[in-house]
Amino acid sequence: MILDVGEKVHIIEKRKFAEDVRRHFIGEVTRCTDSSLRVKGYAWIFDRMQSMYTRHPEKRERIISLEGDLIINLLPQDVIVTDIRYVKDPEKGLVVMEGKRPILAINEFGPGQ
């Protein structure tokens, strides 16, 4: 298995159609096999009215099939998942932040959009 228990991940579910809901999941791997992950963390959904991702308030545990259309980004091990937020940066585009520390640039929209 390429992922290990305890690793922190940022998962993007690829959309099939433009009107599909944009979903991300950020959490910690609690179990894994060659075909699936069990991850505990938070769902993030794109809010079109605010033009920003918002976190679902409740922590969730999900089983995610690795056979789907996913982009899985590894996050630093010391990231505190509850401190994650999304910020629009004029130069980098959408950035995942932990407090004031940039963790991951997500160029889904491109810089400045």
pTM for the predicted model, two decimal places: 0.87
Q: For residue 3, what is the DSSP state? A: S
What is the per-residue pLDDT for 84?
95
Digit-coded pLDDT (tens) for 3-55: 999 999 999 988 878 778 889 999 999 999 999 999 999 999 998 888 889 99
Boundaries of every domain in the chain: 8-106
Long-range contacts, stretch 44-48, CB < 8 angstroms, 24+ apart: 44/86, 45/21, 46/21, 46/22
DSSP string, 59-77: -EEEEEETTSSEEEEEE-T
Mean of the per-residue pLDDT values for the chain? 89
Q: How far apart are CA 60 and CA 20, in angstroms?
A: 21
Q: Are 41 and 28 in contact (CB under 8 A)?
A: yes
